[in-house]
């Protein structure tokens, strides 16, 4: 398994190997011991999957507050996304910084986003399927969001704002300044 720490070292890009032959391929996409060795050592309790029919669908920037804060291991099984993690941990040396990575069915990479980060993505292809493992169960009362194109964050999204396809909820999400003290940095 290839392991790469991104510019925010707590966010990890992992790429499991695929073993192919004339029938197709096999890949072990999750193994607790290998992930623990890579620095992803929280147990997963929920799996989610989304399908976005259009190119340009933006989902995020989302998180859940403690005690339901979620770490996420995100992968794409069809299509491609630009996946983004924003450090929302007050006191962190990378607070308010973001990292992004392209995840696709072709490159087979997965992105680990720890608790305390906002998460969002934009689809780069039609009919994109995203699957992710979560370290905490969904809790509606703990759900929070920040507007995807927040000028405070300066995220370099690979699409024009006019082309973004958003949910009604994501259209009215607050700015990052309102996320202050959602999470604390503990290192």
* Residues with a known catalytic role: 62, 132
| Residue that is written with structure tokens 């399927």 in the block | 129
Task: Provide the pairing of β-strand 58-64 with 143-145.
Answer: antiparallel
Q: Are 103 and 74 in contact (CB under 8 A)?
A: yes
CA torsion sign for 142, 139, 66, 94 is negative
151 Ramachandran zone, left/alpha/beta (phi>0; psi -120 to 50): alpha
What is Dmax (Cα atoms) for the chain?
A: 53
Strand (E) or helix (H) holding 162: none
Q: Are 34 and 27 in contact (CB under 8 A)?
A: no
* C-alpha triplet 134, 139, 140: angle, nearest 5°: 130
* C-alpha triplet 140, 136, 26: angle, nearest 5°: 120
């Amino acid at each position: 398994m290839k392991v790469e720490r991104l510019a925010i070292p707590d966010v990890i890009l992992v790429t499991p190997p695929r073993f192919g032959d004339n029938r197709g391929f096999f890949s072990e996409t999750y193994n607790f011991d290998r992930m623990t060795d890579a620095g992803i050592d929280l147990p997963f309790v929920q799996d989610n999957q989304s399908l976005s029919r259009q190119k340009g669908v933006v989902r995020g920037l989302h998180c859940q507050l403690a005690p339901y804060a979620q770490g996420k291991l995100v992968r794409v099984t069809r299509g491609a996304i630009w996946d983004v993690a924003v450090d929302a941990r007050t006191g962190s040396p990378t607070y308010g910084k973001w990292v992004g990575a392209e995840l696709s069915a072709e490159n087979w990479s997965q992105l680990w986003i720890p608790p305390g980060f906002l998460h969002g993505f934009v689809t780069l292809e039609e009919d994109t399927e995203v699957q992710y493992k979560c370290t905490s169960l969904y809790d509606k009362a703990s759900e929070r969001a920040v507007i995807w194109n927040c000028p405070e964050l300066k995220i370099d999204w690979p699409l024009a704002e006019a082309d973004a396809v958003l949910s009604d909820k994501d259209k009215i999400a607050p700015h990052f300044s309102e996320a202050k003290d959602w999470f604390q940095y503990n290192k």
